Amino acid sequence: MVTLHLLGGASLGLGDRQVPLERKAAGVLAYLALEGPTPRSKLAGLLWPETHERAARNNLVQSLRRLREAAGGYEAAKGEAVLQLAEDLETDVGRLVSLTLQGKYAQVADLEGELLAGYDYDDCPDFADWLEAEREHLSGLWGEALENEARRLEEGGELRKALALALRLWEADPFSEEHLRRVMRLYYLRGDRGAALSVYHQGRERLRREFGVDPLPETQALVQVIERGIALPLARPQPRREIPLSLGEPPVLVGREEAWGRMEEAWEAGKLIFLTGEPGIGKTRLLKDFARTKGSFVWMPGLPGDQGTPYAFCARGWREVIARCPDLPLPSWVRRELGRILPEVFALDLPPWKDSTDRLRLFTALVEAARELGRHVGVLAMDDLQYLDAASAEACAYMFSQLASASPSVPRLLGAYRQGELPPEVQAIMDGLVEAGLAVCIDLKPLQPDEVETFLTSLDLPGLSPRDLAPTLFHYAGGNPFYILETLRTLWEVGEWPVAPSRFPTSHRAKALAIRCVGMLSPTALRLAQVAAVLGDDLSLEVAAGVLESAPLELAGPWAELEAARVLRQGRFAHDLLLEAVKERIPLSLQAHLHRRIAQVLAETGAHPARVAQHWLEAGRPEVAARCWLVAARDFQAQALYVEAKAMLEKVFRHGQAERSEMEETAWVEAQLLLADIYREERRYREADALLVDLLSGPLPLKVRVEALRARAYLAIGDHPRAAEYAGEAYLLAQKLGDEELVHLTRTAYAAALWGLGRADEAIHLLEPELAHGHPDPRHRIRILAYLGALYAHKGRFPEAYPLLEEGYYLAQKQDPYWQVLVAAFLVGADVERGEPLAHRELARAAWALGPFDVSEYLALVLARAYLEANEPEPALKLLAERPGEHLGRAYACLSLAYTSQALMALGRVEPARQALTEALALAEGLEGAPRALAQVAVAGARLGEARVQMLLGRIPLGALGPADRRALEEVGLALGLESP
């Protein structure tokens, strides 16, 4: 068993040996494991986004080659244009998804770990976005499984086991109060009140330490119940009002005029600028607004988790720099040193540091890189410097000291940090720079009472008296803009503006409020948020209204409420934490119901079937999803998007295998039939024929049998009698079935086969009745116009032929590149019949570039004939060098050899011409009903003095040839005895 481990790291398990995966190879395998077969071009673009397409594809090849070598020759990913995982490769992420969907939650518990843990893809932004979403998705599946299992165990009275799972959930997300409450409740139910209270205090201290907030009211209510030993009270909904947008982001920066002026003075003097102050004082807003006025800038924020990882701050900031300026010309020694903190960007094998001199080289490299960056970016804005890890703090201190007196071409440094929380070594350097007059440190003070009044006035809140409220609010919030805003939000939700309140409601930090806001929504807004969470990327007001069976206008208020509460932003959830908070409140049964309604509404609004299918799958209806995927595959095939079409069919087969008993059998066989048709268009004839033979060997619905026979008719088009047999049978069965569309499709296939046999009059008789119907489907009209126009040209009826062909080509340009190629071939063929062979040469060349399709080979044959007719044998021979028609069957292969012999003879290359004729004669001996091929072999033979020419002419039915073939025979003296047109 070969296993692919992607959770908690990435490695390939080969028996008892584990092969670690290189970063890009791990990304490729992870994507294939979760998304299925994927085009190489897409993978190359995702993982080498800044590289030229050809180089990116080569990088992908080399990455897989190195993986294969490391794995002792084992190929984890296979495929030509499309890559997919090896069939014998089992993945832990696949097991996680499968077991969760099957409800085998107990088995999911051991599949813990972050997807591709320890790997960083900041240089691949699209892949990084995908990875982040998949990490959240898989983490959610794992958490959902453990929650369901814990609930099951609790309901079954197995409290000890339920508690063990609850503790694991809390450990995985230590700031989740829902997990904390579950642990408290289970300890309490087991009779261990002390342990329940202990974990509460742990959780409370953690929230206070990290976010400066107390637990939510629900958690505090639970601890009171535990302390008193009483039952839990019922939750009571609290009235809430829509929050004005101005409380989310004030429209005006108030009270910072003096600080702004000092910053401008420092900027003009060439000094470094640092902002400091208490949390929430407005440092970030001021820093960003000022940086925007100075042109291009790079934003480098510190994060709370940086302290535990050396150079975390520096690495993240310089990744942003490299992403913004990928062509930054850095000296090789600088790139080498930066590779120590950015190994995924500058992949170099460096020896470990020995002493402080090595560390100084890195710091010097950072300074040199900053100097070079000055050519592209004017400002480096560093926010939340208090989160600097120790190594980054030392590096930044060195940078500040070196760049303080640098030339104007160096990017200017702006920084912000919480007062009193800066690392000592950085603080010491900064104080020295200020004392030396090279930097300025601006301490942002709280807003004064008059500034608070101005701030409140700028918010333009109805019913609020800024003059009355400002003094008391100033004393309560200390003039801190953040706390003022949060207090106002809470007051607005309560529904009153107190003139002189004795106390204000508790003002929580932003993160805590973001989590709590889900519980504050009105019932209508909450339902809308639940629909939005399930809709995902399909979210729009119109679709949500359809799901909730409301008019869009009725949801305008709740939608505005969600935006005002910052649950939604620009039509999407503001962040994933809110999305998860909403989804956690949706029972699984309701989620399935919502997916079902969404699928119905999307289908009614004309959404792409692939999007509809995914919702049917989530609703637990794989058989309906399969139908939608089938429709999507047909749509992609019509656009010649074969990779996308096959991806849809793969979904049909994959979910059909898992739920075969619930899936319609017709969808399964229709998917196989469509795949065979795609294989044919891709010129994968053996695979196509094998699928069709397998299908036709068993019992099939009559409609599917008709389509399979029609597909075989096109596949056998170079064997005209066999093609006519399949097409004729399909046409008769379609008439028996009474399916109008099938009758049309099989009629055109039968007409094409009859034309190949030389029975053009019968083919015309078949198609002419449909011409007058004026079918509304453009693809329907293209088929009739194309074939009938080509047949008219074959009979010399050019005034009737060209209008049909030109209209068909115009429609094909808008509808279907496959038919655009075929109609172009028919137009060139009409030109050949008329004696003006290169009239549509440029059009044919443009159509040739759309391929390759199976009909591209037919176009090559027709165009080669046109060049021969125009006495241009060299371009004809160039087209024939690839032996077009070889895969279309004996008739076209024979025709290709006949044209090749004629082209070589025209160039004076007699022996090669004779060799091509010999091969053509060998094929012609077994041909039935292929008048054009026989006639062209006869022409080639006559020019080389071949004695068997007359025998070939005897096998051509009278009246089977078009004007061009008759002219060719006449030119070599072989027209005698043939019927005139």
Q: Could you read off the pLDDT of 178-201 as tens digits, one per residue? A: 888 888 888 888 777 788 888 888
Find out whether 940 and 902 touch, Cβ atoms under 8 Å: yes
Is residue 309's pLDDT more than 70? no
pLDDT at position 551 over 90: no
> In this predicted model, what pLDDT tens digit does every residue of 932-957 receive, in sequence order?
999 999 999 999 988 788 788 888 88
Q: What is the pLDDT of residue 447?
A: 86
Tokens 């939340």: give the residue.
384
Structure tokens at 379: 């400002």
Averaged pLDDT for residues 513-525: 57
The three-state secondary structure class of 349 is coil
Task: Please state, in angstroms and as integers, the Cα–Cα distance from residue 703 to each residue in 634, 670, 735, following that order.
Answer: 16, 10, 11
pLDDT tier at 802, thresholds 50, 70, 90: very high
**pLDDT at 235 (0 to 100):** 31
Distance in angstroms (rounded) separating the CA atoms of residues 144 and 651: 24
d(CA 145, CA 104): 8
Asked which of 73-77, 183-187, 518-522 is least confident by mean pLDDT, the reply is: 518-522
pLDDT at position 478 over 80 = no
The answer to whether residues 391 and 425 touch, using CB atoms and an 8 Å cutoff, is: no
pLDDT digits (tens, 9 = 90+) for 124-178: 888 887 888 788 878 878 888 888 888 888 877 788 888 888 898 888 888 888 8
Residue 487 has pLDDT above 80, yes or no: no
Q: Extract long-range pairs of 847-852: CB within 8 Å, 24+ residues apart.
A: 847/820, 847/821, 848/821, 848/824, 850/640, 850/817, 850/820, 850/821, 851/821, 852/683
Rounded to 5 degrees, φ, ψ at 416 are -145, 145
> What would the two tokens of residue 864 be?
């080669």
Residue 979: pLDDT above 50?
Answer: no
Give 950's contacts (C-beta < 8 A, 6+ positions apart): none
pLDDT-based confidence at 833, cuts 50/70/90? very high
Q: 65: Cβ–Cβ under 8 A, 6 or more apart, which residues? A: none
pLDDT-based confidence at residue 913 (cuts at 50, 70, 90) = very high
**Percentage of the chain with pLDDT > 90?**
14
Sheet containing 412-418, strands listed edge to edge, beginning at the edge strand earlier in sequence: 297-301, 379-383, 412-418, 272-277, 439-443
What is the reported pLDDT for 512? 38
Burial code (b: 16+ CB inside 10 Å, e: under 16) for 311-343 equals bbbbbbbbbbbbbebeebebeeebbbbbbbbbe
Spatial distance between the Cα atoms of 46 and 34, rounded to a whole number of angstroms: 15
With bands split at pLDDT 50, 70 and 90, how would you rate the model's confidence at 673?
Answer: confident
The rounded mean pLDDT for the chain is: 82
pLDDT of residue 791: 92
Q: Are strands 82-85 and 297-301 parallel, antiparallel or unpaired?
A: unpaired
> Residues 586, 589, 590, 594: is their CA dihedral positive or negative?
positive
264-294 burial, b at 16+ Cβ within 10 Å, e below that, comes to eebbeeebbbbbbbbebbbbbbbbeebbeee
Q: Is the pLDDT of residue 236 over 50?
A: no
What is the pTM (predicted TM-score) of this model?
A: 0.44
Residue 436, number of CB atoms within 10 A of its CB: 11
What's at 511, amino acid-wise? K
Number of residues that make up the chain: 981
CA angle, 707 then 708 then 712, to 5°: 115
How much is the pLDDT for 792?
93
**Alpha-carbon span 778 to 811, nearest angstrom:** 7
Give mean pLDDT, residues 558-586. 66
Q: What residues pair up with 803 in beta bridges, in sequence order?
A: none
Provide the greatest CA pair distance for the chain: 118
Question: What pLDDT is attached to residue 978?
Answer: 44
Report pLDDT for 513. Answer: 35
User: Could you give the CA distance from residue 467 to residue 457 in angstroms, rounded to a whole number?
Assistant: 9
Q: Which residues pair with 414 in a beta bridge?
A: 273, 381
Pairing of strands 272-277, 89-91: unpaired
CB–CB of 35/126 below 8 Å?
no
DSSP class of residue 305 equals: G
Determine the Cα–Cα distance for residues 69 and 22; give it in Å rounded to an integer: 12
Q: How far is residue 144's CA from residue 133's CA, in Å, rounded to a whole number?
A: 16
302-306, 604-608, 896-900 — most confident range: 896-900
| pLDDT, tens only, 575-610 | 443 565 577 667 666 777 888 888 888 888 888 898
Q: Does position 733 have pLDDT exceeding 50, yes or no?
A: yes
Residue 126: what pLDDT?
Answer: 83
In this structure, what token pair is assigned to residue 751?
A: 């007409």
In this prediction, residue 511 carries a pLDDT of 34
**Range with the poorest average pLDDT among 416-425, 502-511, 926-935:** 502-511
Q: What is the pLDDT of residue 502?
A: 53
Picking from 475, 468, 543, the residue whose alpha carbon sits closest to that of residue 498 is 468
Give 335-347 pLDDT, tens digit per residue: 888 888 887 777 6
Which residues contact residue 170 at a Cβ distance below 8 angstroms, ignoring those fewer than 6 apart? 176, 179, 180, 182, 183, 199
pLDDT band at 834 (very low <50, low <70, confident <90, very high): very high
Percent share of the chain, pLDDT over 70: 88
pLDDT at 877: 93
For residue 77, pLDDT over 60 is answered with yes
Residue 37: band (very low, low, confident or very high) from pLDDT cuts 50, 70, 90? confident
The values of phi and psi at residue 136, to 5°, are: -65, -40
Give 638-646 contacts, CB < 8 A, sequence gap 24+.
638/779, 638/815, 638/816, 638/818, 639/816, 639/817, 640/681, 640/816, 640/817, 640/818, 640/850, 640/853, 642/678, 642/681, 642/682, 643/39, 643/81, 643/82, 645/674, 645/678, 646/37, 646/82, 646/675, 646/678
pLDDT score of 305 more than 70 = no
Q: Which residues contact 845 (CB under 8 A, 6 or more apart)?
A: none
Mean pLDDT, rounded, for 63-70 = 90
Quick check: 514 pLDDT over 50? no
pLDDT band at residue 701 under the 50/70/90 scheme: confident
The span from the CA of 977 to the CA of 980, in Å, is 9
Question: Any residues with CB less than 8 A from the CB of 192 and at least 6 apart, and which?
Answer: none
Asked if pLDDT for residue 569 goes beyond 90, the answer is: no
